[in-house]
C-alpha cells in the first residue's frame, strides 16, 4: 500500500446525473515523493486536495494516509498541511508569530516552539524578517512564510494548490527551486497542484495529468513528455510529436 492512497474517489456537486467533478479517481503517492497534479482549469485539482484536507466530503471511495482512513476523520486530525495561491497569513501577527501559531495550538512548549520556528525561518531563508509584519514583505516572501507555517507542524502530507500562480515570473522560478530544495531536505511527501506545464516538468518526481476528474496518465516528467499516452496529454504537455 502507498503512503497516500486514493481509492476510486468520486465527488459530485449537487447535480444528480451530472458529470462528476472527481470520477472514481485512484492514485498512490509514496513517502517522500513530490507528485504534481497537472491539468486545465476546472478538471478537479483543487477539489481533490480539499477532499484530502477535509474541506469537502467525498461521495464515494476512500482516502488513506500512512495506513489511516481519512475519509470520515475531522479535518484537524488529518495531519496534512496546505498552502494556497493567496498567502492568507495573519496580517496582525509577525512572521515569527505566524509560523508559531499552529505550534501554540498544538500545545507545544515555548522553548520547543522557539527552536522550531527558528529552524523553519532558516530553511526558508527569512531569519532576518522574524519581527516583520506580512504587509512589509513581498509576495514571494509571504508565500515562503506560508510554507514555513505549514511545514512547522510537521504534517505527514503537504499539499500546495497553485502556490506560485500569483507571483511574477522571476520570483516564481526562484521559488520552484526553493520549494523543491526544502521538500527534499525534509523528505516531505508533497501533492502539488498546477496548470503550468513547465512548473510540473521542472519540479516533480512524478506528474499526474488530470482531465475531467480523472487521471489520464501518470509518470515521471521524462515519460510524460516523451511518451504521452493520449492526444489530450500530448496537447496539454505541448508535445505534438
List of residues contacting ligand ADP (CB under 6 A): 13, 21, 39, 41-47
- Which residue's CB is nearer to Mg ion, number 39 or number 134? 39
| DSSP output for 170-217 | HHHHHHHHHHHHHHHHHT--EEEEES-HHHHHHH-SEEEEEETTEEEE
If phi > 0 it is left, if psi is from -120 to 50 it is alpha, else beta; for residue 124 that is alpha
37-66 residues in contact with Mg ion (CB under 5 A) are 46
CB of 212 to ligand ADP, least distance (A): 9
- Which residue's CB is nearer to Mg ion, number 46 or number 94? 46
CB of 118 to Mg ion, least distance (A): 33
Cell of 6: 486514493
Cell of 74: 475531522
- Which residue's CB is nearer to Mg ion, number 46 or number 116? 46
CB of 15 to ligand ADP, least distance (A): 8
Nearest residue to Mg ion on Cβ basis: 46
CB of 83 to Mg ion, least distance (A): 13
Residue 200's nearest CA partner among 83, 46, 38 is 38
Cell of 67: 495506513
- With vertex at residue 88, the alpha carbon angle to CA 86 and CA 92, rounded to the nearest 5 degrees, is 140
* Partner interacting with residue 187 (select from ligand ADP, Mg ion, none; CB below 5-8 Å by kind): none
* Partner interacting with residue 47 (select from Mg ion, ligand ADP, none; CB below 5-8 Å by kind): ligand ADP
**8 A C-beta contact, residue 51 and residue 22:** yes
Cell of 229: 499516452
Cell of 100: 508559531
* Partner interacting with residue 91 (select from ligand ADP, Mg ion, none; CB below 5-8 Å by kind): none
- Which residue's CB is nearer to ligand ADP, number 47 or number 183? 47
CB of 42 to ligand ADP, least distance (A): 4
- Which residue's CB is nearer to Mg ion, number 46 or number 217? 46
Q: How far apart are CA 42 and CA 213, in angstroms?
A: 9
- Which residue's CB is nearer to Mg ion, number 41 or number 92? 41
Residues forming the site for Mg ion (CB under 5 A):
46
Amino acid at each position: 500500500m502507498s503512503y497516500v492512497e486514493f481509492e476510486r474517489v468520486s465527488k459530485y456537486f449537487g447535480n444528480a446525473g451530472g458529470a462528476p467533478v472527481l470520477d472514481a479517481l485512484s492514485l498512490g503517492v509514496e513517502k517522500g515523493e513530490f507528485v504534481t497534479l497537472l491539468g486545465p482549469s476546472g478538471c478537479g485539482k483543487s477539489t481533490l486536495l480539499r477532499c484530502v484536507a477535509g474541506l469537502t466530503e467525498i461521495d464515494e471511495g476512500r482516502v488513506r494516509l500512512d495506513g489511516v482512513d481519512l475519509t470520515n476523520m475531522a479535518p484537524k486530525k488529518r495531519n496534512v498541511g496546505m498552502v494556497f495561491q493567496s498567502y492568507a497569513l495573519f496580517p496582525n501577527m509577525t512572521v515569527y508569530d505566524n509560523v508559531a501559531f499552529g505550534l501554540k495550538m498544538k500545545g507545544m512548549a515555548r522553548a520547543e516552539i522557539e527552536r522550531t520556528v527558528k529552524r523553519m525561518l532558516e530553511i526558508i531563508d527569512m531569519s532576518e524578517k522574524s519581527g516583520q509584519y506580512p504587509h512589509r514583505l513581498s509576495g514571494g516572501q509571504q508565500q515562503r512564510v506560508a510554507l514555513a507555517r505549514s511545514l512547522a507542524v510537521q504534517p505527514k502530507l503537504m499539499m500546495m494548490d497553485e502556490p506560485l500562480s500569483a507571483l511574477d515570473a522571476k520570483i516564481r522560478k526562484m521559488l520552484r527551486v526553493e520549494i523543491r530544495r526544502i521538500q527534499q531536505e525534509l523528505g516531505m511527501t508533497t501533492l502539488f497542484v498546477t496548470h503550468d506545464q513547465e512548473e510540473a516538468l521542472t519540479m516533480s518526481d512524478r506528474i499526474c495529468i488530470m482531465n475531467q476528474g480523472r487521471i489520464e496518465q501518470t509518470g515521471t516528467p521524462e515519460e510524460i513528455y516523451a511518451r504521452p499516452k493520449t492526444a489530450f496529454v500530448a496537447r496539454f504537455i505541448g508535445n505534438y510529436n
